[in-house]
Amino acid sequence: MKRAAKAKQAVRIARRILTISVVTVFCLWLISAAAVLVWSSRDEARPAQAIVVLGAAQYAGKPSPVLRARLDHALELWNRHLASLLILTGGTGSGDTTSEAAVGRTYARKRGVPDSAILVENEGRTTSESMRAVAGMLEVRGLQSALLVSDPFHMLRLRILARRFGFTPYTSPTRTSPISPNREERWKYIFSESLKAPMAFFFEKKL
């Protein structure tokens, strides 16, 4: 009888621990999702030492609607003279013959940005890889701050990565991305970022 009672008590304790763990994880996820939403709505556009555009898909040398929205916003910041350097990121996808960054460079040059003011980071295949490379590019030039341009859902993780890699970020999301009006797509990305942002905070190695 005593053994049976102890076994039941152990099961109750295990269930309680499991319940507390599940509730804790859920609450932490809610906090992360809320933070993603908060940073998606903030625009910190101000003078900085560079404008960094995160890459997105390109099609046969032309920017996708998502990439074009990011580039157009960056050009708007450039035309407001908020920075004198434009850094375009994004590597070459499977089957592509050119990189997202190179496509962005052509797009920016056609719209009046001099080639001397453009830097290209075309090796990164992930956000983390691109941000790490950008940090290195800024460091060798003695630069410490950058305006980060991407979709709204991306802002929190970009800010976390920039801090971990050693430069001061100011986030400025585009408001014309085709993802934003699409509720299903927008929430899919918000959910994804609510998981990726804590991973970037706790597990991404600092420079």
- pLDDT at position 37, please? 94
CB neighbourhood size of 125 (10 A): 13
For the residues 181-203, what does the mean pLDDT come to?
Answer: 92
Output the pTM of the full model. 0.89
Q: Are 86 and 74 spatial neighbours (Cβ–Cβ below 8 Å)?
A: yes
In percent, the amount of the chain with pLDDT more than 90 equals 73
Q: Check whether 96 has a pLDDT greater than 70.
A: yes
Label residue 16 by pLDDT band (50, 70, 90): confident
| 45-178: CATH number | 3.40.50.620
Helix axes 2-40, 155-164, angle to 10 degrees: 100
Q: Check whether 1 has a pLDDT greater than 70.
A: no
Label residue 78 by pLDDT band (50, 70, 90): very high
Partnered with residue 84 across adjacent β-strands are none
Mean pLDDT of all residues belonging to the chain? 92
Of the candidates 182, 177, 149, 152, the one whose C-alpha atom is nearest the C-alpha of residue 42 is: 152
Q: Are 50 and 172 spatial neighbours (Cβ–Cβ below 8 Å)?
A: no
Task: State pLDDT tens for residues 168-190.
Answer: 999 999 999 999 999 999 999 99
Label residue 9 by pLDDT band (50, 70, 90): confident
- pLDDT at position 119, please? 97
> What are the residue ranges spanned by the domains of the chain?
1-40, 45-178
Phi-psi region of 81 (alpha: psi -120 to 50; beta: other; left: phi over 0): left
DSSP state for residue 85 in the 8-state scheme: -
Q: State how far the Cα of 16 lies from the Cα of 19, in Å rounded to an integer.
A: 5
- pLDDT at position 92, please? 85
Q: State how far the Cα of 99 lies from the Cα of 46, in Å rounded to an integer.
A: 28
Strands 62-63 and 58-59: antiparallel
More confident call, 27 vs 93: 27
Label residue 70 by pLDDT band (50, 70, 90): very high
Task: State pLDDT tens for residues 129-164.
Answer: 999 999 999 999 999 999 999 999 999 999 999 999
More confident call, 113 vs 98: 113
Of the candidates 141, 47, 49, 45, the one whose C-alpha atom is nearest the C-alpha of residue 86 is: 49
